[in-house]
Amino acid sequence: MTLAEGVQLVSTIILSVMMIGAAIGVVLLSNIVYSAFLLGGVFISMAGLYLLLNADFVATAQVLIYVGAVNVLILFAIMLVNKRQDFAPMPKAWVRRGATAMVCAGLFALLSTMVLATPWSFSTTVPSSAGAIKAIGRHFFTDFLLPFELASVLLLMALVGAVILARREFIPESAVTDLQATPLTLPERPRELVPVGGTPSQEESK
């Protein structure tokens, strides 16, 4: 075993332990903020494993999308709400826990049998990251076009939904009049508030 192989083996072990440990922490910790931060740890360890498999584009994309976007958004949502609430003890909690454990064990058994039963075709060539981006791009625009486009439509739908939620079209009429009737207001840029059923005001806010 050469030095490089040894380093690779040790890194694989460290990354796997990190990933499993962080994943268990995500599930078992009761503080949701810790869970969210540990989720970032899971994603980072996964990126490390991709890197060890010579898939550096996938690893970088994993960090950018899952750690930099998804995890930050999860944290953002948790902190914006900032609701520190302990779980109230529920009667007959063991039924739910037992059911969850059974579902998880079943899923684990199913996936393990799938992994063991599938005749994987191992490639003997050393995987190379050179030209990986071009190959991925070609696949996206030829044989994986439909899933790719469907994913982007899904994201577009999420985007439109977020914009509608953020614009708050459904402010009650009374709240709007209250806001406008406040006598002492600082000379700020007027905010455009859209009342229910009303047409948006003609003058643009800027």
Partner 1 sequence: MNSGIDLQGTFIESLMDLGLPLGAAKAIWMPLPMLLMIIGATVGVLVTVWLERKISAAAQQRIGPEFIGPLGVLAPVADGLKLIFKEDVIPAKSDPWLFTLGPVIVVIPVFLSYLIVPFGQNLIVSNVGMGVFLWIALSSVTPIGLLMSGYASNNKYSLLGGLRAAAQSISYEIPLALAVLAIAMMSNSLSTVDIVDQQSGYGILGWNIWRQPIGFLIFWIAALAECERLPFDLPEAEEELVAGYQTEYSGMKFALFYLGSYINLVLSALLVAILYLGGWEFPIPLDAIAGWLNVSPTNPVFQVVTASLGITMTLLKAYFLVFTAILLRWTVPRVRIDQLLDLGWKFLLPISLVNLLLTAALKISFPAFFGG
Q: Which chain residues interact with partner 1 by CB under 8 A?
A: 2-4, 33, 37, 40, 44, 56-57, 60-61, 63-64, 67-69, 71-73, 75-76, 79-80, 82, 129-130, 133, 189
Please identify, using beta-carbon distances, which residue of 12 and 57 lies nearer to partner 1.
57
Listed in sequence order, the residues at least 6 apart from 36 whose beta carbon sits closer than 8 Å to its beta carbon are 71, 74, 75, 78
Please identify, using beta-carbon distances, which residue of 12 and 56 lies nearer to partner 1.
56
Q: Minimum distance from CB of 139 to partner 1 (Å)? A: 18
Please identify, using beta-carbon distances, which residue of 16 and 31 lies nearer to partner 1.
31
The whole-angstrom separation of Cα 36 and Cα 59 is 20
Angle 3-28/32-52 helices, nearest 10 degrees? 160
The whole-angstrom separation of Cα 63 and Cα 45 is 10
Q: Minimum distance from CB of 60 to partner 1 (Å)? A: 5
Q: Minimum distance from CB of 76 to partner 1 (Å)? A: 6
* Helix spans in the chain (H): 3-28, 32-52, 56-62, 72-81, 93-117, 132-141, 145-167, 173-181
Please identify, using beta-carbon distances, which residue of 68 and 172 lies nearer to partner 1.
68
Listed in sequence order, the residues at least 6 apart from 173 whose beta carbon sits closer than 8 Å to its beta carbon are 195, 196
Please identify, using beta-carbon distances, which residue of 92 and 191 lies nearer to partner 1.
191
Q: Minimum distance from CB of 116 to partner 1 (Å)? A: 34
Surface-to-core class of residue 170, CB atoms within 10 Å of its CB (0-12 exposed, 13-18 middle, 19+ buried): exposed
Q: Minimum distance from CB of 94 to partner 1 (Å)? A: 31
